[in-house]
Each structure stands twice: as structure tokens, then as C-alpha cells.
Amino acid sequence: MDGAKYLVIGAGIHGLSAAYHLARQLRTCGTGGGRDILVVDKKGVGAGASGIACGVVRNNYYQPAMRDLMVQSVEVWEEDPEGYGYHSCGYMQLSPEEMHDDVVTVAGQQHDIGYESVFVEGTHDCMRYMKGLFDDWQAVGITSVLHEKRGGYANNMKSVLGLESKARAEGVRVLTGVEVTGIRCANAGSAVAAVETSQGMVECDYVIVGAGPWVKDIWELLELPRTIDVRLPDGSVRNTPMWVFWSLQEGTLGVDPSLQKTNDGGLPPVLHVDSTAPLYSDRDGALITDRMWGIYYKPDPYLGGIQGGAAPCRIDTDPDEVRVDPYGPESPDYVVDEQFAEMWVSALAHCQKRFEGTLPRYRNVPSGGIGAFTPDSFPVFDVFRENCYVIADSNHGYKMIGVGKLVAEEICGSPSQLLEPFRFSRYGEGKLHPVSHSPFPWS
């Protein structure tokens, strides 16, 4: 294969965003352009996590660094809603009293950074607010509602194909069916000189890794540590695997998407509900759980139904043994838990009466997949081996379409303060992100 000044591994949301924005940066600076960039993917454009992502775009984060980063990404989504298949319908976080203080913090800091949202407190006022949007709202025990006016969701493949089109228009080459099999450094442990692929050697000056759940494979080819020391808040140090895998629990209810509209017939915001209320089966009334649970959902005309998910399930297999394709037919065990459908649809019915009796219409379509999580479940954006930029999204990826833009700016010499809190060094320094009381590991 021909060489490239910049080699991007992965044709998903991060790889293509980085390639597109880097091409623009190089052209603007007069130091090159898209012709200097090659994107390779072992399968196809959007063939991995990006192509089956739920597509939710939100800024509902307890971590200040994540909130600041999402403002920038929302701005990128808003640059071309049509090209990215983006629907700016808003996002709502509904929470029980156990999470009240966390949501107060999020609402206050959203206000401080000028991110428009409405915050409602108290069981009575929350119910009134929700019935003002959905007259069949019936979820009990909700004591806070945070309604983000920006954000929403995008169609996964339209977004990825939109980025590919923009990148190609800048002259970027995108080659699929090219699997990375090795990495050669100029000297032991120093800069990357070439990347071995199934189609031959690619000499390059710089590598950008946007491999999603396959990041662990590239990490090992770079001969980076499988386990790392993490300094905890109490000062102690714990040695932990660098990568942990979770099976994402998502699915689709095969009803007319227009079933989920607001009282005025409009497109509803994405709904995320966390609850401590007992959840009972919509099939037979049996108790599903009396512990905190959480779901998210939205109408999805692309999938022809209501699409969403619940908290992921951790894969107990040793991460070193997880080498199957997380999106291929050889990994049937890494789909959704067999109880997911009943739990999720029952939770929909718990929230809105219109979903009662719809469990038989659940459809098991490709969604979710596997996420490769870092030790603290937050992204790592950093340079390794002198000239290899690793974008490890820790399953926060799809919504962060703007990360590629910031990475491109850094490669061109403009360090980003937004990416600084996500350096790999934070683990050894104990600069970990705060965590909330949410049942979701990425919150």
C-alpha cells in the first residue's frame, strides 16, 4: 500500500471526524490537505459501534470536564444538522430523590456555562411538568427534572456517512477491508514509523487511533501496559486492567414512532429516567427489581420504532480473552441480556400509559454492542509513542463528534484545554473525574 503522512485507524465517528477536521486544518494552515490523510477500517464505514449507536446527544454530565467538552460537540452537531442527520429536540433527565443533589449540581453548572435548560424540583411540580408534555405520564417517585433544550439525537449511519462525504470532499482517502495487524517503531519504544495491515505496509509520519471497542487491540500493538496503577482519592494505589468490557443493553420497540409525540404533536425530547420505584412486569405484574433502575428512549423513524436502552452489563470474561468481533455473528453471547426486553418495555409502561401491553412488539435488532471502558469509565485522549494520538472514548463516543476537531487542532499545534482533563497521566496523578449516584457507569 502507498504511504500517508497521516494514517487514521477506524472509519467511525471519531476517525472520520478527525480526518475531516484535520484536512481542513492543514488546508487552512497551508501545510497540506486531505491528500495527506488515509483512513483505514478492517470492515467498512460505520461497521462498528458508530453504525449501531443509539445516537443520543446530551450534556447531562455530573463531571464539569465532560459538560464543557459536550458544549463544543453540540456546536459541531449544530453546524450541519441535515448532513449529520441530527434532530435538536432536547434531552430530559428525570431522577429520584437519591440523585437530587447530583442533578442540582448539573443544573447549576449548566446555567453557569450558558447551556440552556429548565430545572424542576419536587414530586408534584415534576408530575405537572411531565403531564404538560405527555398527558399519559405516570412514573412515580420523580423529584427532579432537568430539561436540556439543546441536544437530542442523530441517525447513526447518516452521521458517519456525512462525515465520510465531507472527508472525501477534502481529498481524504478512505479504504475499507484493511485490518491493522502490526505497528513498527523507528527505534524500540519510540515513534511509529509504519503500520502493518492485511493489505501491506503503510509508512506514515503520524497515526490517529479511532478504533472504538477495538482500541485494546491497537493498544497492545503499541506495546502499552495491560494493567496500570490508579491513584485513588484516599491516596492509595490500585493496579487495574486498562480495559474493561461492558455489553450495552439497547433495543427497539416495533411500534409506529409517531406513537411517541408531545401533547402538541411535536417531536419529543430524548427521555432518560432513573428511578427507585419498584418495577413490575408489564407481562404478568411480577416484580422485576426493587433496586434503582434506569432507561432512556426516543422515537426513531430510521429503525421504525421506539429505540433506547438501560444500564449495561459488565462482561466477566478476562479482557485479555475478549478477542471476538463485538459486532459479528461469532459473538452471540455479547448481545443484550435475555431479561432486557421485559425490563425495558415494562419501564416504558411504568413511565407512559401508551406503552402498556406493547411487550410482544419488541424487536431484537442490532443495537448497542460492546463498549471498551477505561479504569474510571471516562475517555482518554492523548499521544503515545511520540506520534500516535489515541482517541479512547470509553463508550461516550458517538455524541462527541467534536473530539475529532479538537484532536486535529492539537496535531496542528494548538493544545486544547477541553481535552486536558482526559490525559492518561490522570490515573497516576489521582486526577480522577467525580462520579454521581447514577446506575450508569458512564455518569
At 81-95, the pLDDT tens digits run 999 999 999 999 999
pLDDT tens digit sequence for 227-252: 999 999 899 999 999 999 888 888 99
Do 311 and 300 lie in one domain? The reply is yes
Report whether pLDDT(294) > 90: yes
**Domain final residue pick, 320, 353, 373:** 373
CATH code at 308?
Answer: 3.30.9.10
% pLDDT > 90, the chain:
78
pLDDT in the model for residue 368: 66
CATH code at 182?
Answer: 3.50.50.60
Closest CA to 269 of 296, 234, 293, 248: 296
Do 197 and 65 lie in one domain? The reply is yes
Q: Which domain holds residue 252?
A: 91-149+244-373
Do 95 and 196 lie in one domain? The reply is no
Count of domains for the chain: 2
Q: Which residue has the higher pLDDT, 355 or 326?
A: 355
**Domain final residue pick, 325, 348, 373:** 373
What whole-number distance in Å separates Cα of residue 110 and Cα of residue 116? 7
DSSP conformational letter for 419:
T
Q: Go through the chain and tell me how many residues it has.
A: 443
Do 275 and 399 lie in one domain? The reply is no
Q: How far is CA 57 from CA 151, 206, 443, in A?
A: 5, 30, 14
pLDDT in the model for residue 367: 66
What whole-number distance in Å separates Cα of residue 79 and Cα of residue 216? 32
pLDDT in the model for residue 366: 61
What whole-number distance in Å separates Cα of residue 195 and Cα of residue 203? 6
Do 54 and 158 lie in one domain? The reply is yes
pTM of the model: 0.92
pLDDT tens digit sequence for 396-421: 878 999 999 999 999 999 999 999 99
Sign of the alpha-carbon dihedral angle for 66, 69, 247, 272: positive
Do 249 and 320 lie in one domain? The reply is yes
Closest CA to 185 of 175, 176, 195: 195
Q: How many other CB atoms sit within 10 Å of the CB of residue 223?
A: 12
Mean pLDDT of the chain: 91
SS3 state of residue 340: helix
pLDDT in the model for residue 364: 76
Report whether pLDDT(285) > 80: yes
- The two most distant CA atoms of the chain are separated, in Å, by 66
Do 36 and 173 lie in one domain? The reply is yes
Do 259 and 359 lie in one domain? The reply is yes
pLDDT in the model for residue 441: 63
pLDDT in the model for residue 115: 93
Phi/psi class of residue 303: alpha, beta or left (left: φ > 0; alpha: ψ in -120 to 50)? Answer: alpha
**Domain final residue pick, 373, 388, 415:** 373
Do 262 and 236 lie in one domain? The reply is no
- Tell me the three cell numbers of residue 62: 455530573
Pairing of strands 180-185, 91-95: unpaired
Residue 330 confidence class, pLDDT cut points 50, 70, 90: very low
Residue 442 confidence class, pLDDT cut points 50, 70, 90: low
What whole-number distance in Å separates Cα of residue 62 and Cα of residue 60? 7
Do 175 and 215 lie in one domain? The reply is yes
Do 120 and 165 lie in one domain? The reply is no
- Tell me the three cell numbers of residue 89: 429536540
pLDDT in the model for residue 329: 41
Residue 327 confidence class, pLDDT cut points 50, 70, 90: very low
Do 263 and 346 lie in one domain? The reply is yes
